[in-house]
Amino acid sequence: MTNDDNQMCVAVLAPFGKDCALIEKLLGQSGLKIRPMPDAEALVGSVPDGAGAAIVAEESLTAQDIEKLGGKVRSQPQWSDFPMIVLTGGGKSTCETELAVRARAPLGNVTLLERPLRAATLVSAARSALAARCRQYEIRDHLRQREVAEDALRRARDTLETIVQERTAALCRLSAQLLSVQDEERRRIARELHDGLGQYLAAAKITIDTIMITRADTEGYLGDVAQHIDRAIRETRTLSHLLHPPLLDAAGLASAAKWYVEGFGKRSGIEVSLELPAKLARLPMNVETALFRIMQEGLTNVHRHSGSQKVVITLVVEDSTASLVIQDFGKGMPREMLDQFKRSGTHVGVGLAGIRERVKELSGTFDIQSSSQGTILKVTISVSEHVQPLNAPTFSQIYSSLAS
């Protein structure tokens, strides 16, 4: 027999061969197949996949057989509920018959048929048992298909998650590279403005001053030109320092921060309180650059969006950790925008996104708290994890930076 044939046949266990022959004849006339079982052990082996149902004469099972058969029934898969038809003796209920009923309880899905049997009753019970078994196999196949589909979905999800992680890591690396390139390009442009264009303007100013001294008749004509050049020199120097203050490389974060805060206050009219450690040692160059840029971007956001007239900036360095806090007292950020930014880093300008990427690149933490009373931006970076060699500036470099 094939497996399908086994599933659709009826296993029969009867104590006398003529009983099996009679059942086979009755079921065969109705187009049903039977499979005679030589003993209870063989019947146990047919549960649950060796047959579609079973017909058992009660006198063919001992208590030990029922226990074994019950154990096999209990070990079926969740989808399986093997049907059994038990042929009982007819007559009145006695203590013995009640005991027999209780003894059959471990067999599970049992239908009792009293003898003498009616052919139609037996055939109907067998058909019902096989139909129920067919539905169980349909459920089994459906569950298997679902497991296959779920497994395919899990593999697809794992593949997509791997791709997303790889792409995210690649984007993070690219973002870090872009920030690094941006800082280096700012440093280069600032140097070119200071050392190139700034020097040419200074030379032109000296020449005009010389002409004005030696040629008094030209003073009126060249006075306006000298003023324009003076303004161009100041703006060029300011632009150069804003792009990348030479104090940051030459003297460190404290000096650059004080210079920037002082200029920001004058330009914006916002009162800025800067609290720094009494003795701030030089930090790794990439950490100093990141903290300065974060402070710069934070103040820009305060000026553009908060409406605050006061800002408090606090830098604390202790236990190899640098913490920068920028607090304003303005109108705060909309709750929806803040929640979206915390979840995905989107729905904000490039300023906060840039701060987030800088902190992430240095494996630090970035937190924003905002309400109608103002906004607090806090950044924490582990200094010891990002130690980079510092190029110690010479005295002439520091003097030149301060003088310019």
What CATH number has the domain bearing residue 95? 3.40.50.2300
Residues 6+ apart with CB under 8 A from 126: 10, 27, 30, 32, 53, 55, 85
| Residue 368 belongs to a domain | yes
- Domain extent for 85: 3-117
Handedness of CA 35, 37, 43, 46 (dihedral sign): negative
CA dist., res. 350 & res. 263, Å (int) = 23
- Cβ atoms of residues 133 and 83 within 8 Å: yes
Query: At 272, which CATH number?
Result: 3.30.565.10
Out of 69, 85, 117, pick the residue that ends a domain. 117
| Residue 144 belongs to a domain | no
- Cβ atoms of residues 364 and 381 within 8 Å: yes
CA dist., res. 367 & res. 380, Å (int) = 9
Handedness of CA 244, 249, 252, 253 (dihedral sign): positive
Whether this model's pTM surpasses 0.75? no
On average, the pLDDT of the chain sits at: 80
* pLDDT tens, residue by residue, 388-398: 444 434 434 43
| Residue 167 belongs to a domain | no
| Residue 30 belongs to a domain | yes
If one compares 61 and 151, the residue with the highest pLDDT of the two is 151
How many domains, in total, are found in the chain?
A: 2
| Residue 195 belongs to a domain | no
Q: Tell me the residue type at 17.
A: G
* Average pLDDT of the segment spanning 57-61: 83
Decide if pLDDT at 96 tops 60: no
Out of 101, 117, 133, pick the residue that ends a domain. 117
| Residue 71 belongs to a domain | yes
Q: In what order do the strands lie in the sheet with 310-318?
A: 271-275, 310-318, 321-328, 374-382, 365-371
| Residue 95 belongs to a domain | yes
Out of 117, 146, 168, pick the residue that ends a domain. 117
